[in-house]
Amino acid sequence: MTASPSAPEVLPPLPIENRVLALVVILAAQLMLQMDFLIVMVALPQIQMDLGFSAATLSWVPNAFALAFGGLLLLGGRLGDAFGRVRAFQLGLAVFVLASLLGGLAQSPLTLIVARVLQGVGAAVAAPSVLALVTNLARNEQERNRGMALFITVSSIGASAGLILGGALTEYLSWRWSLLINVPIGALVLLMIGRLVVETPRAPSTFDISGALTATMGSIALVFGFISAAEHGWTDAATLPSFVIAIALLTTFFASLRAV
């Protein structure tokens, strides 16, 4: 769930207290985004019982997030380049928090799946800016390496932490808290990030609509193909066409890059 920035932007130095606090806030958001794909896995039996999911549609609770996130990650990175990393991070995190609230209050399968899609959209917009913001806080190479090491550590433990936390919340409270827990954490991050981190410069290039569409739709088709293969097998009628569409769209995207 990460994306590397094309080049680190240089920001005005912050006092050490602000830099440490800003790093903690950014990494807290990264941990939350990393946990969210698997945090509902332990809760799936209760979700099925409470909302009346069928066995076939229940898999879309985790897969809807993965599909939206994987398909829109490239577009999210481009938005950060075009409009500023802090602004893209705030926008994505706001969508993620509101979607978490919607999912935690869901009373039907459709509402929960829509919420998971929106969570994936928000995460895809916010996640590419996280590493850029971490590196931007550093004053020198040593601090940059330390920040990247912390980023990698937090990202690595995010998935397993999601399973543990999801299981604890489901066992002692409700499956809904595996989504609602994002609301206070995300709201606090949104409140603090604009005060702690200076906006990055915008990229001077124009926004490539055709490139964004082919990259995004190609990624969505690719992720959907893998999901379909895992659920229904490689010979399923939906699997092979998804990969064919993905190859065609991504080939068009890379061809357009070479033409630039």
Per-position b or e across 75-99, b if 16+ CB within 10 A of its CB: bbbbbbbbbbbbbbbbbbbbbbbbb
d(CA 115, CA 217): 20
Q: What is the pLDDT of residue 5?
A: 46
CB 32 within 8 A of CB 182: yes
pTM, two decimals, is 0.77
Q: What is the pLDDT of residue 39?
A: 81
Q: What is the pLDDT of residue 257?
A: 66
Q: What is the pLDDT of residue 211?
A: 72
Q: Which residue has the tokens 């958001």?
A: 29
Q: What is the pLDDT of residue 94?
A: 94
Q: Two tokens at 138?
A: 């550093």
Write the DSSP symbol of residue 238.
T
Cα angle: 96, vertex 153, 88; to 5 degrees? 30
d(CA 31, CA 132): 16
Which residues lie closer than 8 Å to 242 by C-beta, 6 or more apart?
221, 222, 224, 225, 228
- Mean pLDDT, the chain cut into blocks of 10 residues (260 residues total): 45 56 85 81 86 80 83 79 84 94 92 91 88 78 81 80 80 87 90 77 65 77 80 80 88 72
Q: Which residue has the tokens 């896995």?
A: 41
Q: What is the pLDDT of residue 9?
A: 45
Q: What is the pLDDT of residue 259?
A: 55
Q: What is the pLDDT of residue 11?
A: 45
Q: What is the pLDDT of residue 111?
A: 92
Q: What is the pLDDT of residue 7?
A: 43
